[in-house]
């Protein structure tokens, strides 16, 4: 009997804390409360980079010449290809050193741009989140207050529309072309690709990044990639350049 008032106190504290922090239910980490921008959104600005090998292969893979071994970023490791699409993936893999659009220095699409082994910078404005990528100086304008334009549109990087769900920046991306791959290993999609990205602060220097992939022309069901984004902590971090096609021109012309 004597414990009841304490239990009630604990319960009311829990209820109280929950009501003070309702957004936490949506986040995956639960406990970290990120700093806020002047507009009241979680502040995810800064220079970030992955520490994984997904650019070479998003699935489990052993090392090859120039390719570090890696554990995959695909939940469950299996990608649910339709039969014809699986055949194409194997073909792509066999021709990957010449056929991967990235070898021609084309914009790598979403989410591949996220896990290219280069830093990127997130900048937040009131109605927009802008991501500047060192790789190919790619830019994504993620609009927070607009709708996808009506298609059909085929863009290399798609059309990104964002919203905040609790502490998570959720970005809906459609209007892709079918020209990009998910990795050097030949994992592919069609122009019907629909990506839902989730950027969730997991600590002052970490973002949890999840990308749900839907493409009924290529996959039997939606599937998901997950990885950590790490904040660059160098004394004065700064994006430099990787102008892939310019270096390729120079190499071609110097032959």
Partner 1 sequence: MKRHSVVLVAALFGALWAPVAGQKYGDLGGCSDEPQQFHQCATAKMKEFNPPRTPDGTPDFRGHWSRAGVFGTDNIEEHGPGLGDPGGKSLVVDPPDGKIPYQPWAAAAKAGYEHTHMDPAALCYLPGSPKQLYTAGINQILQTPDSVIFLNDYTHAYRVIPTDGRPRLGPHVRLFMGTSRGRWEGNALVVEVTNQNATTWFDHVGNFFSDAVHVIERWTMIGPDAIHVEARIDDPKVYTRPWTMAFGLRRNADPAFEIWENACHEGNVLRWPGTDLTDHLKLYFGARPPN
Cβ contact 49:224 at 8 Å: no
According to CB under 8 A, which one of 23, 32, 93, 143 is a site residue for partner 1? 143
Residue among 176 and 223 whose Cβ is closer to partner 1: 176
Q: Quick check: 157 binds partner 1 (CB under 8 A)?
A: yes
State phi, psi for 237 to the nearest 5 degrees: -60, 145
Task: Quote the CA–CA distance of 125 and 167 in Å, as a whole number.
Answer: 16
* Least CB distance to partner 1 at residue 149 (A): 8
Q: How many residues bind partner 1 (CB under 8 A)?
A: 32
CB-based contacts of 115, cutoff 8 Å, min separation 6: 50, 52, 54, 55, 58, 73, 227
Given the rule CB under 8 A, which of 2-10, 25-33, 75-83, 99-107 is the region that contacts partner 1? 99-107
Given the rule CB under 8 A, which of 72-80, 83-91, 122-130, 195-203 is the region that contacts partner 1? 122-130
Task: Quote the CA–CA distance of 126 and 233 in Å, as a whole number.
Answer: 26
Q: Quick check: 99 binds partner 1 (CB under 8 A)?
A: no
From residue 39 to residue 58, the character string flagging contacts with partner 1 as x (rule: CB under 8 A) and all else as - is ------x-------------
Q: Quick check: 205 binds partner 1 (CB under 8 A)?
A: no
Q: With 0-12 CB in 10 A as exposed, 13-18 as middle and 19+ as buried, what is 245?
A: exposed
Residue among 16 and 246 whose Cβ is closer to partner 1: 246
Q: With 0-12 CB in 10 A as exposed, 13-18 as middle and 19+ as buried, what is 136?
A: buried
Q: Quick check: 1 binds partner 1 (CB under 8 A)?
A: no
Q: Quick check: 156 binds partner 1 (CB under 8 A)?
A: yes
User: Dihedral, CA atoms, 57, 61, 64, 68, nearest 10 degrees?
Assistant: 70
Task: Report which secondary-structure segment, H or E, holds 52.
Answer: none
Q: Quick check: 138 binds partner 1 (CB under 8 A)?
A: yes
Binding site for partner 1 (CB under 8 A): 38, 45, 105-107, 121, 123, 125, 130, 132, 137-139, 141, 143, 146, 155-157, 159, 236, 238-241, 243, 245-246, 249-250, 252-253
């Amino acid at each position: 009997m004597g414990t009841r008032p304490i239990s009630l106190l604990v319960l009311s504290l829990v209820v109280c804390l929950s009501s003070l922090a309702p957004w936490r239910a949506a986040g995956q980490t639960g406990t970290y409360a990120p700093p806020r921008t002047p507009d009241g959104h979680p502040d995810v600005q800064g220079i970030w980079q992955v520490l994984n090998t997904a650019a070479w292969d998003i699935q489990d893979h052993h090392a090859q010449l120039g390719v570090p071994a890696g554990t995959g970023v695909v939940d469950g490791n299996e990608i649910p290809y339709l039969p014809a699409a699986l055949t194409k993936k194997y073909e792509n893999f066999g021709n990957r050193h010449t056929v991967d659009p990235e070898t021609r220095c084309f914009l790598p699409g979403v989410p591949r741009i996220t896990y290219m082994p280069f830093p990127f910078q997130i900048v937040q404005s009131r109605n927009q989140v802008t991501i500047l990528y060192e790789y190919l100086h790619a830019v994504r304008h993620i609009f927070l207050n607009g709708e996808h334009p009506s298609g059909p549109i085929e863009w290399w990087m798609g059309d990104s529309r964002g919203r905040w769900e609790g502490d998570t920046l959720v970005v809906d991306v459609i209007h892709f072309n079918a020209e990009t791959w998910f990795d050097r290993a030949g994992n592919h999609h069609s122009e019907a690709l629909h990506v839902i990205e989730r950027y969730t602060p997991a600590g002052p220097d970490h973002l949890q990044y999840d990308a749900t992939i839907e493409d009924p022309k290529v996959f039997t069901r939606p599937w998901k990639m997950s990885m950590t984004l790490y904040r660059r902590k160098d004394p004065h971090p700064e994006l430099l350049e990787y102008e892939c096609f310019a270096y390729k021109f120079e190499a071609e012309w110097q032959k």
